[in-house]
């Protein structure tokens, strides 16, 4: 399968713990995006990378959130000191730079903070 993959698919953690999610984009896509989706709502933009450079961050991305894409391939999203309000689906998408509007989404990581 050559689509966007995310790991883990589900994560249950206790409040205050740190969690890290991984996204592997489609191989020739050098743009990578993170979105958050809560129940009954559409995805909300968090941040995006072109290659290894993080080019934009949403105000939704508080200081507890950090995203990296060290080699311009896979990306990680870390949430420190998780709160119950962080419970959501975290979606990753990728695109070609010349067609950045055509974004291909992964299956998401469902985070539950207890």
Partner 1 sequence: GENVEQHPSTLSVQEGDSAVIKCTYSDSASNYFPWYKQELGKGPQLIIDIRSNVGEKKDQRIAVTLNKTAKHFSLHITETQPEDSAVYFCAAFEFNTNAGKSTFGDGTTLTVKP
Binding site for partner 1 (CB under 8 A): 4, 31, 33, 40-45, 48, 50, 55-56, 58, 91, 93, 95, 100-108
**Minimum CB distance to partner 1 smaller for 17 or for 102:** 102
**Minimum CB distance to partner 1 smaller for 80 or for 87:** 87
**Minimum CB distance to partner 1 smaller for 45 or for 80:** 45
The sign of the CA dihedral 10, 16, 22, 23 is: positive
Q: Could you tell me which residues are beta bridge partners of residue 23? A: 6, 75
Tokens read off for 34 = 């993170």
CB burial of 4-20 (b: ≥16 within 10 Å; e: otherwise) equals bbbeeeebebeeeeebe
Identify whether the C-beta of residue 58 lies closer than 8 Å to the C-beta of residue 46.
yes
**Minimum CB distance to partner 1 smaller for 48 or for 113:** 48
Tokens read off for 111 = 């985070």
């Amino acid at each position: 399968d050559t689509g966007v993959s995310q790991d883990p698919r589900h994560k249950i953690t206790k409040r205050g713990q740190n969690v890290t999610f991984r996204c592997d984009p489609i191989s020739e896509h050098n743009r990578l995006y993170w979105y958050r989706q809560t129940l009954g709502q559409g995805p909300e933009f968090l941040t995006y990378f072109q290659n290894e450079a993080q080019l934009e961050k949403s105000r939704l991305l508080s200081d507890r959130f950090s995203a990296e894409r060290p080699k311009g391939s896979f990306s990680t999203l870390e949430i420190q000191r998780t709160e119950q309000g962080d419970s959501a689906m975290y979606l990753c998408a990728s695109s070609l730079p010349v067609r950045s509007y055509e974004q291909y989404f992964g299956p998401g990581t469902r985070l539950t903070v207890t």
